[in-house]
Amino acid sequence: MHRTRPHINKKALHEYSYQFAKKTTEYYFIDHSKIYGKEILSFCDIKQVNLLIIKVLFNKWQQEAQKLRSPYFDFQQPEVQEALKLFMNTLSKHIAVSKADFQPLVEQACKDALMLLLNPYDFFKQDFDLNPQDYIDKERLKNTIKYIQFNKELLRSYAQKIEWYNQLDKTTAWRLFEEAYQLHEDSLEPVEWRIRSFSEIYLLDLNALYEPEVTPESNVFDYPSKASIFAESYASGDVYASKLIATHEQEQKTYNNQSTNTSSIDNNPELEKPTANITDKFRKSKIETIRRAISLNQKFIFINQLFGGNNLAFNEAIDRIEQCKSYEEARNLINSDYAIRFQWNYQQPEAHQFLDLVERRFTTEK
């Protein structure tokens, strides 16, 4: 007996995704005029959302390539095709998106990520239906796998089923997917810990996303609770995304090591700190700018916890601190202005983390 798939409240999903996108883009573009390719892969702390933003961009990239057609020129000539490929590959390395254009991409990526998590069956069904071709081929599937992190084993299982096909008609392709889904529906990822990541950015009421079932026995959806959490690695694929993803993997290692989320200082920041071990010394290593060192989630926390939700005050503080000549000057500025204005409690971890970043900005250690 197969589990009942949840019915997603599309209106609630749209509203949440809109608010999620609005908040994340507003915070990011406080100190950015545009977002570029590599930055998209670390836009927020939910990797699946970042990857799906790239997926949406890739689809738009393909649509733009299709527009380069004319009744007066032969675009099918090998020389033209090669030149066109080179042009599009070059263009893909120069992504630059403004806030107004980026927010709809984030909204769509958020909706897709939640659908992929809560109802992967309908997510992939929609992907099938949106495919303009009458067949599904392996190359297209491999391209899709690259962008999937939630419930990825389901898609990998499907890929194995069609390994011996060069291309499939949609009816056969979907039948094979349903077979793969039936094999994996009892081991789909539990949603609770994934949902927590969304709520840390914008509070998510999971119950609001589910529509009531028609039959009484289905009113409460029993989503699978057991699952294996698989290590993720992004496969290389189309030129548009593969280099970005490969570069991001290396940079993410450095970012994780430099993250100040786990940094700690003494309860009283005015007291002399004990001798740091090697890990602490690395975490205290110099940063070039405070802006670039603050992750999006940290920005949420600092603005809300230290600056009373005032984006402008936060932005002003960073600008003024960057202009200081020393850590002591920066600390005096904070103590005499922002700490008083927003009634900072120096015992709270957010204050510790912010001051750690300021200190690293002025340290001489590399």
Query: 248 in a domain, yes or no?
Result: no
Strand partners, 232: none
Question: What pLDDT is stored for residue 171 in this prediction?
Answer: 81
In 3D space, the residue among 350, 343, 298 whose CA is nearest the CA of residue 27 turns out to be 298
- Of the residues 195, 213, 240, the one at which a domain ends: 240
271 plus 228 within the same structural domain: no
101 plus 209 within the same structural domain: yes
Would the CA dihedral through 303, 304, 306, 310 be positive or negative? positive
Query: What is the Cα–Cα distance from 302 to 203, expressed in whole angstroms?
Result: 17
Query: What is the Cα–Cα distance from 88 to 65, expressed in whole angstroms?
Result: 7
Question: What pLDDT is stored for residue 133 in this prediction?
Answer: 67
Using 50, 70 and 90 to split pLDDT, how confident is the model at 236? very low
- The kind and range of the H/E element at 169 are strand 167-169
Query: 249 in a domain, yes or no?
Result: no
282 plus 200 within the same structural domain: no
- Of the residues 184, 206, 240, the one at which a domain ends: 240
Query: 5 in a domain, yes or no?
Result: no
358 plus 227 within the same structural domain: no
pTM of this prediction?
0.61
213 plus 323 within the same structural domain: no
296 plus 225 within the same structural domain: no
Cα 289-291-295 angle, rounded to 5 deg: 125
Query: 253 in a domain, yes or no?
Result: no
Query: 140 in a domain, yes or no?
Result: yes
- pLDDT tens track for 263-280: 332 333 333 333 444 344
Residue bearing the bigger pLDDT, 197 or 135: 197
Strand partners, 97: 35
176 plus 29 within the same structural domain: yes
Using 50, 70 and 90 to split pLDDT, how confident is the model at 125? confident
- Of the residues 240, 268, 287, the one at which a domain ends: 240
Cα 253-256-259 angle, rounded to 5 deg: 150
Query: 350 in a domain, yes or no?
Result: yes
Query: 247 in a domain, yes or no?
Result: no
Using 50, 70 and 90 to split pLDDT, how confident is the model at 188? confident
pLDDT exceeds 70 at position 282: no
Please state the domain count of the chain: 2
Query: 150 in a domain, yes or no?
Result: yes
pLDDT exceeds 70 at position 248: no
65 plus 139 within the same structural domain: yes
In 3D space, the residue among 204, 330, 355 whose CA is nearest the CA of residue 267 turns out to be 355
Query: What is the Cα–Cα distance from 218 to 50, expressed in whole angstroms?
Result: 34
Cα 293-298-300 angle, rounded to 5 deg: 130
190 plus 332 within the same structural domain: no
The 8-class DSSP code of residue 56 comes to H
The 8-class DSSP code of residue 268 comes to S
- pLDDT tens track for 50-70: 999 998 888 777 777 677 777
- pLDDT tens track for 314-342: 988 998 999 999 999 999 999 888 988 89
Alpha helices for the chain (secondary structure H): 10-28, 37-40, 47-67, 78-92, 99-118, 120-130, 138-146, 152-161, 170-184, 192-201, 206-209, 239-258, 278-283, 290-293, 296-306, 311-322, 327-333, 339-341, 349-362
165 plus 296 within the same structural domain: no
169 plus 95 within the same structural domain: yes
Cα distances (Å, whole numbers) of residue 252 to 167, 216, 222, 230, 246: 36, 47, 36, 18, 10
- Domain encompassing residue 294: 258-362
129 plus 196 within the same structural domain: yes
